Amino acid sequence: MIKPITGMKNAFSLEGQTAIITGGNRGLGFGIAQAMAESGANIAILCRDRKKAEEALNELKPLGGKYESFDCDVTDRVSVRKAVAEVYASFGHVDILVNNAGVSCVKELLDMDEELTDWYNVLNTDLNGTVHMTYEVGKRMKAAGKGGSIINISSNAAFIVNKTQAMSPYSSSKAAVNHFTHCMAVELGKYDIRVNAICPGFTNSELSRHIPKDMFSYINNQMPLGRFGEPIEVGALAVFFASPAAAQITGTCQVIDGGYMLSC
């Protein structure tokens, strides 16, 4: 069983742990990588853009841990299997999995092509990619018998309909990720593997670049806290979920959106 903490010393430390972060080379993913590295974790970044990965690794290096990147397309099970095997070969063990890789699409369903290319692209990345990674890492965590923490990066879009932008593929995929989180928390709990989701709202990241500039002030005015979030703030919540302090928390989908949902 996962041992409860007996005091606050080291309650939020990730010292000696290894974290896989998909899409950890930029945006939210890098914010999570930075926060976990600063908390003592070794970091394996899985992504498709090696140039951005190297830039991310160079920023992490001064923190003094072990940081590497691996080629991975989360929509491709062969690619996922290969990348996960390479991580284990290099680091020896994985304690934390952050399913962060994701894409979005702003388009109404009836404006999509006959093949629904945009729809399937989002679901294959955001939902199926999460499933692929959870399967490959989860079975290795089970075999190791030491438990683990899986953190799925969802969105507050899982709970609400964006009235200003048509995002049905993204919202649908994130709602599915949330329920997948619940299901995995039940299925994997007996192996001491905790599964939680983080549901950011508007954050200064890659996925927010599609938002027209004239909408930024409108969105900020809808937030009780009056600003977009920062990737490192999402990273701080991820550190909490991965840390001993959250040893009794599983199956949670935590919103972090500056109170935006309160105005919807």
Per-chain mean pLDDT for the chain: 95
Compare 217 and 135 and report the one with higher pLDDT: 135
pTM: 0.95
Distance (Å, rounded) from C-alpha 108 to C-alpha 103? Answer: 16
Report the pLDDT value the prediction gives residue 212, as an integer from 0 to 100.
75
Q: What are phi and psi for residue 169, nearest 5 degrees?
A: -65, -45
Report the pLDDT value the prediction gives residue 207, as an integer from 0 to 100.
65
Report the pLDDT value the prediction gives residue 175, as an integer from 0 to 100.
98
Q: Is 218 a catalytic residue?
A: no
Which residue out of 67, 88, 170, 260 is catalytically annotated? 170
Task: Specify the range with the lowest mean pLDDT, choosing from 39-43, 160-164, 183-187.
Answer: 160-164
CATH assignment of 18-263?
3.40.50.720
Report the pLDDT value the prediction gives residue 120, as an integer from 0 to 100.
98
Closest to 137 measured CA to CA, from 33, 42, 28, 44: 44
Closest to 203 measured CA to CA, from 128, 133, 129, 256: 256
Where is 142: in which H helix or E strand? helix 129-144
What pLDDT, in 10s, does the model give residues 204-221? Answer: 987 677 777 778 788 888
User: Cβ–Cβ contacts within 10 Å for residue 98, how many?
Assistant: 29
Closest to 207 measured CA to CA, from 105, 133, 57, 56: 105
What mean pLDDT do residues 225-245 have? 97
What pLDDT, in 10s, does the model give residues 81-108? Answer: 999 999 999 999 999 999 999 999 999 9
Report the pLDDT value the prediction gives residue 215, as an integer from 0 to 100.
80
Report the pLDDT value the prediction gives residue 214, as an integer from 0 to 100.
77
> Residue 98 gets which letter from DSSP?
E
Distance (Å, rounded) from C-alpha 10 to C-alpha 243? Answer: 9
Quickly list DSSP for 196-263: EEEEE-SBSSGGGTTS-HHHHHHHHHHSTT-S-B-HHHHHHHHHHHHSGGGTT--S-EEEESTTGGGG
**What percent of the chain clears pLDDT 90, i.e. is strictly above it?**
88
